[in-house]
Amino acid sequence: MSTLWMQPAEAVPPPYMVVYRNRFEVREKTVVEYVFSADERAQLFLDGWRLADGPERGDTAHWYFQSGKAELEPGRHCFTARVLCFGEFSAHAQVTIRHGFYFHDQSGIVGDDWEYQLVAGCEYREPFPDWGTYPRLEIGETYNWDILQGRGGVWKVVDHYPDSRELYPPELPPMRYEETTAYHREGDWIVFDDYVCVWSEMTFSGPGTVTLRWAETPYKTPQFDPLHLKGDKGRRDGEFLIGQGYEITVPSATVHWYDHWWKAGRYLEIKCDGGAKVESMKFHRTGYPAKFRYSTKCSSPPLTRLLKLCQDTWSACAHETYMDCPYYEQLMYVGDARMEALAGYVMSKDIRLTVKSMRMFTRSARPDGMILSRYPSRIDQAIPSFSMIYLMMLHDFAFWQDQPETLAELLPAARRIVDYLCAHLKNGLLELPGWNFIDWVDSWNNGIPPGDCTLNLLFLLSLQKMAEIDPDHSADYRSYIQPLQKAITDNYYNPERHLFADDFAHKHYSEHAQVIALQTLPCRALREAFTRAGDLAPASIYFSFYYLEACYLNRLPELFYRRLSKWFALEKQGLKTLPENFENPRSDCHAWSAYPLYHYFASVLGIRPACPGGKRWKIAPLYGGLDHASGSLPRPDGDIKVRWQRQENGEYQLDYELPPSLAPRTPVCLS
């Protein structure tokens, strides 16, 4: 069924912005209920004041509408909508079908007399260094500063056209829009107390120019690697900002500015030239409106502070989709999303964002069954290992959540992934086309190890996980598991070192191969050799998730807490969120670094579901490294509470409390 959308009556090639207006009058105090959508995106205003942003980010097969209502006093009013139509200049996570705007007044108060005005005096430049986000703006002298109030310039009648896309209701609640005043001024810099994602609203007076430039951090030197997007960040107390800003020409008047997309970071540089001044500024924090219900307490102050950094990192990377990082490309990658979901499971009962993310990944599937590594995205990318991570993410969901209908909905796509991978077995091992990324390791070429041992072990692990959550097809998965185990052992296991090599020649060894082998092919010899090995290519902050997981499952507390302590050093670098890597990171806020919060509950406290649906739970803490630890994990039917403490005799006392609905019939396996 088609809906009538509106567009400019003239053909306009992107990039451009257009403002639509509708002027109307009401005779008495009333409420307008409306729905709207836009391609690519819109900000909705009433009488010049911001109402909403939308629609919720989706893909070409699943386009959303946004709904809302506004209270109106008697008199004349004006709805305006600023629609972004950037095309190839748009954010990498922003897709498009056909540019336009849709508005429906459910209360019948607003008429159909829509007009439009193209935003003049605006040039668009590609962002740098934060590639993949929306373009920079250069506002010139011909810009109509009254356009969002529906005034000034020349307004033309819109052209309506039928659009056949189906509009879906939002899957998520509206994003946060909460004013923050937690910042101070240092010369030309606005310095925020914490890392923020904010919508900016400012009042300027002129004449003159204002330049706005956002940054995660100042650098120690002006030198910057434009390829890897890295410079010397030191302790985040440098003097040099890197990147392009917005250049705004301010007229001889007082004017109001609303930014067209939110910005991320800790620093905003504002430079005024000529007679330009900033008369006022407001910043509204945005992101997914999660309600955190967890609590933690332990004997380690650095760990306590780390858990807060984990929450703040998650919050900055959770929006209408999960994101790898809010400052740079703002894309949802499978590798990051799995860890964001796990952290979300231990913080909140709200899993809507995780369910949406998994559904979106299934919609990215190619005809051959392989899903894309990031989605939504204007540029397709496939990372074979991330398809296996998705199968593990589905396993996490199946165990941590009791939603059999959603699991049944997602399993067919997971089976097609397995079919695709099995079709690329040759001589018992995977030979996969594409970017076989595993992890960022300095000695590896673009994240690819010198052999495919870890890739095959990840496939083995994902098959084992699928066999646990898809009983109707478990026999099919198991028919591949044993031959794959043998092929991996025959080709990569070195019986002299009791370690798995990365390559057939047994010249290269990594932590990556060992920690996945410890989860799929565990044995005492491997475990002991792993604890002694000192020449393994190290896992980065991303793959250290699997390192910690292997330590927990194999009861290696010394290695677990030693690796966890690497996060403690990050706080000393002046960071307010967790970075992309332990050393010399590109991004200071990266979603895949926040999983220590998950491991606090699942490993330190040892709270884990023992079967699909969370019907039974295992409590098996990994003692060591702390004198005491406790926490409350939110569940739909109540909280799971665990506390353990080291006694004077060196033994540990464990206490736990289960929700009433679980306690009578849930076996608890103690450590």
Around Cβ 615, how many Cβ atoms within 10 Å?
13
| Stretch(es) of the chain classified as CATH 2.60.120.260 | 3-124+139-168
The tokens of 114 are what? 């829509």
For 178-201, what is the mean pLDDT?
98
Q: For 575-600, what is each residue's pLDDT tens digit?
A: 999 999 999 999 999 999 999 999 99
pLDDT band for 619, please (50, 70, 90 cuts).
very high
| From-to residues of CATH 2.60.420.10 in the chain | 605-671
> In the chain, which segments carry CATH 1.50.10.10?
303-604
Q: For residue 106, what pLDDT band results from cuts at 50, 70 and 90?
A: confident
CA distances from 330 to 17, 154, 175 (A): 21, 36, 15
Residues shown for the chain: 671
End-to-end CA distance of the chain: 59
Q: What is the 3-state secondary structure (H, E, C) of 201-265?
A: EEEEECCEEEEEEEECCCECCCCEECCCCEECCCCCCCCECCCCCEEEEECCCEEEEECCCCEEE
Place of tokens 């999660």: 290
Region 90-110: mean pLDDT is 94
Taking residue 372's Cβ as centre, other Cβ atoms within 10 Å add up to 22
Query: Residue 668: its pLDDT value, please?
Result: 65
Cross-strand pairs, 43: 53, 82
Average pLDDT score over residue span 177-184:
98
**524/530 Cα distance (integer angstroms):** 10
Q: What is the DSSP letter of 175?
A: P
111 — pLDDT class (breaks 50, 70, 90): confident
Name the residue type at position 479: S
Alpha-helical regions (H) of 54-102: none
Question: Residue 132: which region, alpha, beta or left (left: phi > 0; alpha: psi -120 to 50)?
Answer: left
Are 251 and 142 in contact, with CB atoms under 8 Å apart?
no
pLDDT at position 110 is 92
Task: For domain 178-285, give the fold.
Answer: Jelly Rolls (2.60.120)
Residue 257 has pLDDT above 60, yes or no: yes
Q: What is the mean pLDDT of residues 215-227?
A: 95
Per-chain mean pLDDT for the chain: 96
What's the burial of 417, exposed, middle or buried (CB within 10 Å: 0-12/13-18/19+)? buried
In the CATH scheme, what is the code of domain 303-604?
A: 1.50.10.10
pLDDT digits 0-9 by tens, 377-387: 999 999 999 99
Instruction: Return the exposure string of 178-205: e unless at least 16 CB atoms fall within 10 Å of the residue's CB, then b.
Output: eeeeebeeeeebbebeebbbbbbbbebb
What CATH number is given for 3-124+139-168 in this structure? 2.60.120.260
The whole-angstrom separation of Cα 285 and Cα 312 is: 12
* 616/665 Cα distance (integer angstroms): 8
Cβ 40 vs Cβ 134: under 8 Å: no
Burial of residue 359 (CB within 10 Å: 0-12, 13-18, 19+) is: middle
Q: Which of 39-53, 256-270, 512-526, 649-663 has the least mean pLDDT?
A: 649-663
* 605-671 topology per CATH: Maltose phosphorylase, domain 3 (2.60.420)
Contact 229, 351 (CB under 8 A): no
54, pLDDT greater than 60: yes
H runs (alpha helix) in 249-366? 301-317, 334-347, 352-363
Q: What is the CA radius of gyration of the chain?
A: 27
pLDDT at residue 662, rounded to an integer? 81
For the ranges 37-41, 106-110, 362-366, which has the lowest average pLDDT?
Answer: 106-110
